[in-house]
Structure 1
Amino acid sequence: MCSGGFAKCLGISLIPLAIVCVLCNILLFFPGGTSVETEHITVQVWYCGGILGSGLLMIFPALVFLGLKNNDCCGCCGNESCGRRFAMLSSILFAAVGVAGAGYSVIVSAVSINHGPQCVININGTEKEWGYPFLNGDYLSNTDIWTTCLEPIDAVSWHLSLFSVLLVMGLIQIALCAVQVVNGLLACLCGDCCGGGDGAV
Structure 2
Amino acid sequence: MCVSRFLRCVSFSLVPMAMVCMLCNVLLLFPDLKIHFLLEGHVTREATWAPGLWGSGLLVLLAARSFLRSSRTSGCFAFRRQMFSQVLCSGVCVLSAGFCSLVSATALSQGPLCLYNDTHILTWGVPLQPLPDRHSGYLYNRSLWSSVCVRPGGVVLWNVVLFGLMGGVSALQTLLCGLNLLNTLLGLLLGGGHQVSPVAV
TM over 0.5: yes
> Residue 200 of structure 1 aligns with which residue?
197
Residues 2 and 193 in structure 1, CA contact (< 8 A), matched pair in contact too:
no
CA distance in 2 between partners of 1:93 and 1:148 (Å): 45
2:30–2:37 CA contact under 8 A, matched in 1: no
- Kindly report which structure 2 residues correspond to 1:93-132, keeping only aligned pairs within 5 A, or say none: 93-125=88-120, 127-132=121-126
State the superposition RMSD in angstroms.
1.8
Aligned twin of 2:143: 144
Which amino acid is the alignment partner of residue 138 of structure 2?
Y
Percent identical pairs in the alignment equals: 34
Per the alignment, residue 46 of structure 2 pairs with 44
1:24-69 deviations in Å (ceiling 9; x for gaps): 0000011133333331111111111100110111122111111122
| Corresponding position: 1:187 with 2:187 | yes
Structure 1 residues 67-116: Cα deviation after superposition (integer angstroms, max 9, x where no partner): 122114xxxxxxx4122122122211100010111011112111111111
Instruction: Give how far 1:193 is off.
Output: 8.3
Aligned pair count reads 190
Specify the SS of the correspondent of 1:130.
strand
Structure 1 residue 123: deviation in Å? Answer: 2.0
1:40 counterpart SS class: coil
Q: Under a length normalisation based on structure 1, what TM-score does the superposition of the two structures give?
A: 0.87
Superposition TM-score, scaled by structure 2 size? 0.87
Quick one: distance in 2 between partners of 1:88 and 1:200? 13
5+ residue gaps, structure 2, are 131-135
Q: How far does residue 178 in structure 1 lie from its aligned partner after superposition?
A: 0.8
Q: 1:3-152 to 2 correspondence within 5 Å? A: 3-38=3-38, 39-72=41-74, 80-125=75-120, 127-136=121-130, 138-146=137-145, 147-152=147-152
8 Å CA contact retained: 2:101, 2:171: yes
Query: Could you list the runs of 5+ residues in structure 1 that have no partner in the other structure?
Result: 73-79
Which protein shows a greater Rg? 1
Q: Which residue number corresponds to residue 133 of structure 2? A: none
